[in-house]
Structure 1
Amino acid sequence: MASITLNNLVKKYGDGFPAVNDISIDIADGEFIILVGPSGCGKSTLLRMIVGLEDITDGELLIDGERVNDKAPRDRNLAMVFQNYALYPHLTVYENIAFPLRLAKGKHSEEQVNKLVTEAAATLELTDHLQRKPANLSGGQRQRVAMGRAIVRQADAFLFDEPLSNLDAKLRGQMRSEISQMQRRLGVTSVYVTHDQTEAMTLGDRVAVLKMGELQQIASPRELYEQPRNLFVAGFIGSPSMNFIPATIENGKLQTVLGDLDVPAEKLAKVEGKKVVLVGVRPEFFEDAKLVEESKLPHGSIFTATLTHTEWLGNEQYGYINFNPDPEMRELLNNLAREMDADELRPQIVVTLDAASRIRGGREAEIWLDTRKLHLFDPESGENLTRDAEAGAALTAEAGEERAEEIATAQEADRAQGHGTSDAGDGSTDNGQGGGKHAAAS
């Protein structure tokens, strides 16, 4: 296993456009890092730079402290799992998993190959499918074969390029769980590219949010959600996404389309001198005022609104409130939407209501908002003016401690079940076969 260090990495193509622009990340040994962002943000390019499939224009890439900028993919001892599985259709599952070991000519005896393949197959529940061909497998089984090939290489790190995007929603959920458990059992450093919110929030120890080739914030999923650094991160992370409401500050209150909101004095102090701010609030911090506990009422504001419609989901429901921002603010919201890969941010507020709420569309209702939880953003710079950096750092530190405990627990359970990891060489490959860079990285 290994640590991976990205020092000011830059990738420019022939036209001089920086697809990756000055990104620095320290990835600890055994850590699971997610790269997320809209299409074209540079996340896949960055992953390919790490594995060696893209040249580095500037900056340094270190694996366990060793500079590897000029090393070929086969010499970096990294295993990559591709979106399209990259399996060989004419080979059995057994031979697909064994392929990187066969390429390392003379490094593994047949007994070692068989041991590594059968152990990987047992880990991934593929034992009964070892003699089948990829064409006869489901999408989830093919992805397991691709992961099995990565496991037997005993690589220093796993790199995943949107591995679940070809699967249906139910299977994605199952495979998410399997990848998470496998990574904990093996304790292997992993870098995972996705555009899927759920994958990013459930898999990663830390998530790196990218926009137009630049790193916006890297933190634990919880820190990103609760303490986003800027408008982009706040809007991109979370589903439904954070609501953004224009507001002016007068007489110690926020004047918004929802009415005047009482806000804690410490939040207002951080926006002193600002005439206009964007209020950011998650849908779950709203509630039907009739259902709010009396002790919580003083910690928020009640406003009256007419919902266009509601969506009942069983355990909760969503309500929708339209509003009409001025042209300048509408353009700001639309620009933010384009950055997040959407056509526009509708001037609409999404509120989460208890499943028992009787509020319905077309009726005027009283809604309570927990004003302790809102964020205030500078509409010009996008900066989160009310971010508590110290509280956010504590959340990420806590996630790191939990990761170490989970890995130790998972490995102890694995040893108890007799699934220990074999040591049969470094699994390096010969680039003379198997499709050049692509095969060497997989």
Structure 2
Amino acid sequence: MATIEIQNLVKRYDDGFPAVNDVSLDIADGEFVILVGPSGCGKSTLLRMIVGLEDITEGELRIDGKRVNESAPRDRDLAMVFQNYALYPHLSVYDNIAFPMRLSKNKLPEDEIDRRVRRASSMLGLDEHLERKPGNLSGGQRQRVAMGRAIVREADAFLFDEPLSNLDAKLRGQMRTQIAQLQRRLGITSVYVTHDQTEAMTLGDRVAVLKKGRLQQVASPRELYEQPANLFVAGFIGSPSMNFLPAREENGHLRTPIGDLTAPEHVLEAARGRDLVLLGVRPEHFEDLEFVDEALLPHGTELAVTPTHTEWLGNEQYGYIDYEKDPEVGEVLDELARDLDQDEIPPQVVVTLSSASRIRGGIESRIWVDTRKVHVFDVATGENLTRDEEKGAELTRRAAEDRQREIETAAALED
């Protein structure tokens, strides 16, 4: 296993475009770090710089304290799992897994190769497929073979480049579980690239969010969700996305297109003295008034709204509330949509409702919003003015402790 230290890394192409722009990130021994962001944000380029497939323009890369900027990929002792599996079609599953050991300059005896192949095969549920060829396997099975080939190398770290993007939704879910369990069992340093935030939120100890080659925030999934650093992170993390509402503080209230909100003093203070701010409210912080516990009512605001329509999903439903677009924030939200790789951010609020709610489209209804959970963003800079850095750091610290317990438990079961 290994630590990976990324210090002010830059990748600039011949035309001067910085695909990776001054990224610094320390990855601890045994940590699982996710690189996430929309297409073209530089996450795959950064991963390829770590493994040695892309040259480093500026900055320094250290693996276990050793500078490796100029080291060849084979000298970095990293195992990479690719999006397209990269299996040899003419070789059996057994021989595909064994291939990197037979190719290695440090030749292993056949009995050791066999031991490692069968250990990896057992971990990944491939025992009955060892004699088959890749063309006779499903996508999920092929990806497991690719992972087996990485495991047998007993490398210092695993690097994953969008390994599940070719699988259907159900298989992706199954493979996510397998990758998470495998990483816990092995306790190996892992860096995983994805544009899928579900993978990012469920797999990583910490998640590094990139935009246009720059690092926006590195934190545990929960800190990113509850204490986003800026408008971009808030908009990228979460599904459905965070709602953004133009607002002004007036006489101790927040005036928004869907009604006036009462809010805690720290929220009001963040908005006070500014011509306009953007409020960030997650869909689950709304509810049909009928289903709100009476003890919670003083901590939020009741609103009369008329949704355009609702969607019932079984365990919950979504309501959609349109509002009149504010031209003063239109340009900001249009730019945010481009950064998030979306067509637009419509002037619409998405609210999560109880599955039993009878709120329906076209009918005026009463909903409630928990204003303790509201974020205030600066329109000009995108900075989260209500971010509690101490609370966020505590969330990440606890996540690290929980993860360490998981690894220790998995190691004890292995023994």
**Fold conserved between structures, TM > 0.5:** yes
**Residue 356 of structure 2 corresponds to which residue in structure 1?**
356
**Residue in structure 1 matched with residue 48 of structure 2 by the alignment:** 48
Asked if 1:340 is matched to 2:340, the reply is: yes
Letter of the 1:356 counterpart: A
Partners of 2:267 and 2:374 within 8 A in 1 = no
Q: Which residue of 1 aligns with 2:395?
A: 395
Q: What is the rounded CA distance, in whole Å, between the counterparts of 2:97 and 2:195 in structure 1?
A: 27
Deviations 1:21-54 (A, max 9, x none): 0000000000000000000000000000000000
SS in 1 for 2:302: strand
Within a 5 Å distance, the mapping from 1:22-171 to structure 2 comes to 22-105=22-105, 107-171=107-171
- Secondary structure at 2:385's aligned position in 1? coil
Residue identity (%): 71
Following superposition, the deviation at residue 324 of structure 1 comes to 1.2
Match of 1:326 in 2: 326
Distance in 1 (alpha carbons) for counterparts of 2:326 and 2:199? 36
SS in 1 for 2:371: coil
**Matched residues, number:** 415
User: Contact 1:80–1:161 (CA<8 Å) still a contact in 2?
Assistant: yes
- Partner in structure 1 of residue 226 of structure 2: 226
Paired with 2:400 and 2:76, the residues of 1 have a C-alpha distance of 26
Structure 2 counterpart of 1:17, which letter?
A: F
Determine the C-alpha separation between the residues in 2 that align with 1:332 and 1:28: 37
Q: Tell me, what secondary structure is at the counterpart of 2:159?
A: strand
Structure 1 stretches of 5 or more lacking a match? 416-442
Q: TM-score, normalised by structure 1?
A: 0.93
Q: 2:242 touches 2:281 (CA, 8 Å); kept in 1?
A: yes
| 2:372 aligned counterpart, secondary structure | coil
Counterpart Cα distance in 1 of 2:106 and 2:198: 43
CA distance in 1, matches of 2:213, 2:106: 42
CA distance in 2, matches of 1:369, 1:358: 17
Mean Cα displacement is larger for which, 287-296 or 261-270? 261-270
1:277 and 1:331 mapped to 2: Cα distance?
Answer: 14
Give the distance between the partners of 1:298 and 1:328, measured in 2 at CA.
Answer: 31
Bigger RCO (CA 8 Å, 6+ sep) = 1
Task: Tell me the alpha carbon deviations over residues 99-140 of structure 1, each in whole angstroms, 9 at most, x when there is no partner.
Answer: 110012452001100001011100101111111000000000
Q: Residue in 2 aligned with 1:19? A: 19
Please give the alpha-carbon distance, in whole angstroms, between the structure 2 residues aligned to 1:92 and 1:105: 22
5 Å-filtered alignment, 1:192-207, equals 192-207=192-207
RMSD (Å), alpha carbons: 0.8
Shift of 1:18: 0.5
> Could you list the runs of 4 or more consecutive aligned residues of structure 1 that deviate by over 6 angstroms after TM superposition?
none
SS of match in other structure, 2:20: strand
Q: Using the alignment, how far apart are the partners of 2:322 and 2:372 within structure 1?
A: 23
Cα deviation code 1:262-316 (max 9, x no counterpart): 0101222233321211000000000001111111000000111100000001110
8 Å Cα contact 1:307/1:364 also seen in 2: yes
Give the letter aligned to residue 171 of structure 1: L
C-alpha displacement of 1:329: 1.6
Alignment-derived partner of residue 282 in structure 1: 282
SS of the counterpart of 1:270? helix
The 8 Å contact of residues 184 and 407 in structure 2, kept in 1 or not, is answered as yes
CA contact (8 A) 1:330 1:347 kept: no
Q: CA deviation at 1:94?
A: 0.5
Q: CA deviation at 1:410?
A: 0.9
Partners of 1:141 and 1:414 in 2: CA distance: 24
Per-residue deviation at 1:335? 1.1
Q: Can you list the C-alpha shifts for 1:32-82, whole angstroms capped at 9, x where unaligned?
A: 000000000000000000000000000000001110000000000000000
TM-score computed with the length of structure 2 as normaliser: 0.99
Opposite residue 261 of structure 1, the aligned amino acid is: L
Contact 1:2 1:157 in 2 (8 A): yes
Whether the aligned pair in 2 keeps the contact of 1:9 and 1:58 (CA below 8 Å) is yes
Q: State how far apart, in whole Å, the 1-side matches of 2:296 and 2:105 are.
A: 68
**Alpha-carbon separation, structure 2, partners of 1:179 and 1:411:** 16
Q: Distance in 1 between matches of 2:51 and 2:152?
A: 17
